[in-house]
Amino acid sequence: MKTWRKFAPFLVGFVLSVTISRTADADSHAEYSATMLPQLDPTDSPNKFTYTHANAINNAGIVVGETFDSGFVWSSTDGGALTGFAAALGLTNGLGIADVNDHGAMVGAGCIEFFNCRAFHVDSVGAATLLPTNEDYFGVLATAVNDAGLVVGGVSLGDRFNPSSRAVYWADGALFEIPTAGDVARAAAVNDNGVVVVNQNPAPNTPFAPFRWTVDGGFEALEIPSLEHGSHGTAINNAGTVVGQVFFDVTEPRASYWDDAGALHLLEGIAAEADIFDTAVYALNDEEIMVGWEMTATAERALVWFNGEPHDLQELTVDLPDGIELRQAVGINEAGQIVVAARDTSLAMPQGVTVLLTPSDVSGGGSTGGTSGTTSSGETTSSGEATSSGETTSASAADGSGTSGSSMGSATDSSGTGVNAASGASGCGCDTEPDRPFSTVFLIGALLLLRRRA
C-alpha cells in the first residue's frame, strides 16, 4: 500500500502530461487563418455583380469553383490571382469547375444551350476537352476524378421535362453507364482506389439511397434509416468512409457518415437538433476530419467535425475581415486546409465570396502532395456504351477556336487526372441531393435534370 503511494505524484504528473498533450494536439487543429480569394472583374457580369463559389481544393492548395457563367481556378503560387475559365469549348452557359486533382487537372460541365450540357476535362497544361457522350444524353455532368484518371458523373435522358438519369464513368477515352435498378442515379464521388459513391433510387419512383460501387465488385448498399426518405453520399476518402446526409422525414435532415463496413453514424450540429432546418457533410480527408454546414431559422454555419465533434469555423478563425460570414465548408485537403463558401455582408449588396482556411500548424498557401508530372490512366474496364470522341481546345481560347478531332476521355490523358471530391444538387427534399456547392446557374440542364422527387 505504501509502495504505490510513493509513486502517486509521478502517476498524477504522467496523467496530467498526457492530458495536456492530447489537449494541445486537439487545439492545434482548432485555429485557422483566413485567405480571402479575389473576385473576378464584374465588368461583364450581369448587373455588374460578381461572386465566387468554391467546389473543391487539392493537396497543393489549388481551389476551383464557379462564378456566374465562368469556372475559376485559384492558386497562391500564381500570385493569388483568380483565373477565369469561360467560353472555352463553346460552353457559354452555367459553366463551373467541379474538381481539381493533385496534378492540376480539372473536370466540370457547362451548357451550350438549356438542354445541351456537356462535361469537360482540363489537363495540367490547360488543354480543355469535351468528354465523350452519345446522342441519347442531353445533360452530361462530370462530378469527380481520381488520381488514377477515373472520371465519374451523371447523364440525363428521355423526356426533357421529366427525365431519367444514369450514373456514368469515363475511362480509356470512352463513356460507360453504371448499371442501376432505378430510373434516377448519379455518381457523386470516387476515391483513389476506384470506389465510387453512387446515389440512386433502388426502384423507379423511390427516394435516393447511397451505395459504394466498383467495376469488379458491383454495388454495396450503405445503411439508411428509412426507405421512405432520401439519403445521399457526397464524398469518399481512401479508407472508404462516405459522408453525406440522411433524412428521417422531410423536415429532419441529419449530417452523417458511413464507415468502411457501411454502418451509418449520425453527426450532431452546433444548434439544437429541433432548430436545424438543413445540415450535411460535404467533404472529408484521410484523417476523417469532416466539413459541411448547418442552417437554422437565423443562421447558416460552416462546420468542421473533429472525431465526430462539431465546431463552428467562424469561431475558430482568428483573422476574418469584418462582415464575412462563413456559411458552407465545401472541401478539405490532407493538410487540413478548408475551403468555405462565405458571404460578404459589409457590401451594400452582399456577395458570395470564397475563403481559404489554413490550420495554424500549416504554413503557406499550399500543402504536401502537390505533385507535378504524369501518371498513367486507371485501367478500368467494363461493358458499357462506348461513345464519340471528345473535342480539344486550349482553355485560353475565349471563342472555343482551335478544336481538333483528338479523342479525349479525361481518364486517359497523360497529365494524370484525379480528385477526391463531390458535387451535388441543391434542395432539401427527401429524395434530392443536399444543398451542395457546384450549383447555381451551372445546374441548368445538368443537375436539375438529374434530380427528381419521388
**Residue 57 has which C-alpha cell?**
481544393
User: Looking at the domain covering 32-450, what would its CATH class be?
Assistant: mainly beta
> What's the pLDDT score for residue 94?
75
- Rounded to whole angstroms, the Cα distance separating 415 from 392 reads 14
Instruction: Name residues whose C-beta falls within 8 Å of residue 358's C-beta, 6 or more positions apart in sequence.
Output: 32, 33, 35, 335, 337, 364, 365
Tens of pLDDT, residue by residue over 197-249, are: 999 998 887 888 999 999 999 999 999 987 678 899 999 999 999 999 998 87
pLDDT at 45: 52
Q: Is the pTM of this model over 0.85?
A: no
**411 has pLDDT over 80:** no
For the ranges 121-130, 290-299, 356-365, the maximum mean pLDDT occurs at 290-299
More confident residue, 389 or 106: 106
Q: What is the DSSP letter of 204?
A: T
Poorest-pLDDT segment among 6-15, 26-35, 194-203: 6-15
Out of 101-115, 182-196, 425-439, which region has the weakest mean confidence (pLDDT)? Answer: 425-439
Evaluate whether 351 touches 344 at the Cβ level (below 8 Å): yes
Size of the chain in residues: 454
Q: What is the mean pLDDT of the chain?
A: 75
**Domain coordinates in residue numbering, the chain:** 32-450
Q: Using alpha carbons, select from 198, 284, 210 the residue that is nearest to residue 241.
A: 284
Dihedral angle at the C-alpha atoms of 325, 328, 330, 336, nearest 10 degrees? Answer: 60
**pLDDT tens per residue, range 221-231:** 999 987 678 89
Letter string b/e over residues 439-452, b meaning 16 or more CB atoms within 10 A of that residue's CB: bbbbbbbbbbbbbb
Residues 6+ apart with CB under 8 A from 363: none
pLDDT digits (tens, 9 = 90+) for 95-135: 889 999 988 888 999 888 777 889 999 888 888 899 999 98
